[in-house]
Amino acid sequence: MNANNKDHAALADEFNKDEPRVDWHDETLWFVRQKRDKAAARVADWEVLRDTASRIKDNVLSRLSEYLQQFEAAATANGIVIHWAADAAEHNEIILSLLRQHGVDQMVKSKSMLTEECGLNEFLEEKGVGVVDTDLGERVVQLAGEPPSHIVLPCIHKKKEEIGEIFHKHLGTPAGNADPQFLTHAARLHLREKFLTRRVALTGINFAVAETGEFVVCTNEGNADMGAHLADVHIACMGIEKLIPQRRHLGVFLRLLTRSATGQPITTYSSHFKRPRPGQEMHVVLVDNGRSAHLGRKDFRNSLKCIRCAACFNTCPVYRRSGGHSYHTAVAGPIGSILTPNLDMKKFADLPFASTLCGSCSNVCPVKIDIHEQLYKWRQVIVQEGYAPAGKKAAMQAMNWVLSHPAVYHTAGRTGRWVMAHVPFTVNNGLNAWYKQREMPAPPAASFGEWYKKNYEQQGKNTGNDKK
Ligand code: SF4
């Protein structure tokens, strides 16, 4: 449920009111998925790479505390200041205290889903600190007063005409101009002034190398580099699972990440940060926020392997047609649906049900997370823990009873067919959500079981195998 007590189904209903937008959203993300397929097919050892990445991450998760300490020691030796945050509140307070130490109330920030997860922008704005998101898509949704709807393509739900209106309102571009090149140029001018005047820059981290204490930030726009290189203070934030053991392992992950995300062979900028330049301060905030607890969940710990490529979003038929905001969480899509119940099982009890369990997410995941199996397991945990809606639970119990009693099942089937054939309005009416977007075929005269029994017996008689 979101703040307005709406669950995924209700929020998806809202998104579905604009059918052309749904079609366009669906087609655009499917196009990205196809680009991913072509990029993956060009790498002969793609499956070996996926397997290797998955095993490296297995190793990281089983020795996480060791690698974290190794990273801290190496980064500290490089001159980076390490901070530890147990949860979102601690993370936000650390950032605020760093800003206060430097007497700063404005900063630039490149894309970091962790800061979205921690609600950093809202927290800092309440404290009087202005944050400018410098990723173009993130700046668009920030100006629109919305959260990102996709972890790689934050404003994928917006049409260029809407972006033209937002820029006209906030950046003073001419009304009605929705030319993408013009709008990008306007954003560049607007952001350049911010880059040049902000003394603190915050970035995310894609990979942190335990062996060397360095970290890598991947962007297509160079905004993380621009912010970090111009600022006196560079703060980088990461979830504790973002570690990899050695620098050579980057060759595996960097090849997988962008091919899986957008179908590009490599991210435009894969920048390595190892130490602050002379006169600069560099801080890394290592954030737990439920990750240790997740690590202790045997069936679900693998989801911490995620490298946030969003391939599972782009392939998911439910995500593509329900939009990212319907997941009411920072990391939406299939991976968000298996990460968030760990953070708050009651609030996110709806998300594991927002799936067809088709398994397409697991098929494309570059680190081989068994996403659809975890979705199925979360459903069971949520029901056992009492967080499933009472109506759904009662219906499932009733169905369980019917399916366990063949005589009841056959009688129910016969009754259902009679009702649909003779008084269809009792089930096909405005109160039944199932019929809103479906046309049911005419009910058959007999069930498959009855048909099979009859034909099997007939066949038995014809071949002389009838035992009667
Ligand atoms: S779960 Fe896999 S496919 Fe989905 S975002 Fe994470 S790494 Fe990518």
| CA-proximal residue: ligand 1, atom 4 (nearest) | 312
Atom 8 of ligand 1 has which residue's CA nearest to it?
309
pLDDT recorded at residue 92: 98
Nearest to 46 by CA among 260, 249, 235: 260
> Hey, how many other C-beta atoms are within 10 angstroms of the C-beta on 170?
14
Report how far ligand 1's centroid is from the alpha carbon of 386 (Å).
28
Q: Which amino acid, residue 41?
A: A
Low-confidence stretches of the chain (pLDDT < 50) are 467-468
CA of 189 to the centre of ligand 1 (A): 33
Run of H or E residues at 26:
helix 19-41
What is the CA(238)–ligand 1 centre distance, in A? 17
Pocket test for ligand 1, best of 307, 318, 329 (most atoms within 8 A of CB): 307
SS3 112: coil
Q: Which residues, judged by CB distance below 6 Å to any ligand atom, belong to the binding site of ligand 1?
A: 260, 306-312, 335, 364-367, 369, 371
Report the C-alpha gap between 22 and 13 in whole angstroms: 11
pLDDT at residue 287, rounded to an integer? 98
Radius of gyration of the chain, Cα coordinates, nearest whole angstrom: 26
Residue with tokens 């820029």: 167
Number of residues that make up the chain: 468
Residues 6+ apart with CB under 8 A from 22: 15, 16, 321, 323
Distance CA 449, CA 457 (A): 12
Q: Separation of 422 CA from ligand 1 center, angstroms?
A: 49
CA distances from 19 to 12, 32, 271, 319 (A): 12, 20, 40, 15
pLDDT at 442: 85
Ligand 1 mean position, distance from CA 313 (Å): 8
| Residue among 206, 335, 361 whose CB has most ligand 1 atoms within 8 A, to mutate | 335
Closest CA to ligand 1's atom 6: 306
First to last CA, the chain: 59
3 state DSSP class of 1: coil
Please give the Cα distance from 325 to 142 (Å, whole number). 14
State the SS3 of 247-271: HHHHHHHHHHHHHHHCCCCCCCEEE
The residue assigned the tokens 């604009």 is 18
Tokens 């202005």 found at: 130
Q: Which atom of ligand 1 is nearest to the CA of 335?
A: 1
Q: Are 149 and 156 within 8 A, CB to CB? A: yes
Q: Which residues pair with 209 in a beta bridge?
A: 214, 244
Cα(203) to ligand 1 centroid in Å equals 20
Q: Long-range CB contacts (< 8 A, 24+ apart) of 135-144?
A: 135/110, 135/111, 135/219, 135/221, 135/223, 136/184, 136/187, 136/221, 136/223, 138/111, 139/187, 139/191, 140/166, 143/167, 143/169, 143/170, 143/171
AA letter at 445:
A
According to DSSP, the residues that pair with 131 across neighbouring strands are 107
Tell me which long-range contacts 182-189 makes (C-beta under 8 A, separation of at least 24). 184/136, 187/136, 187/139
Phi, psi torsion values for 133, nearest 5 degrees: -75, 130
CA 299 vs CA 357, 364, 376: distances in Å: 17, 20, 11
Ligand 1, atom 7, lies closest to the CA of: 306
List, in sequence order, the alpha helices (H) in 78-232. 88-101, 113-118, 120-126, 136-144, 160-171, 180-197, 223-230
Run of H or E including 130 = strand 130-133
> Can you give the pLDDT at residue 431?
82
Tell me which residue has its CA closest to atom 3 in ligand 1.
365
The confidence score (pLDDT) of residue 465 equals: 55
Give the number of the atom of ligand 1 that is nearest the alpha carbon of residue 309: 8
Adjacency order of strands within the sheet including 81-85: 81-85, 281-287, 233-239, 200-203, 106-109, 130-133
What is the atom index within ligand 1 of the atom nearest the CA of 364? 3
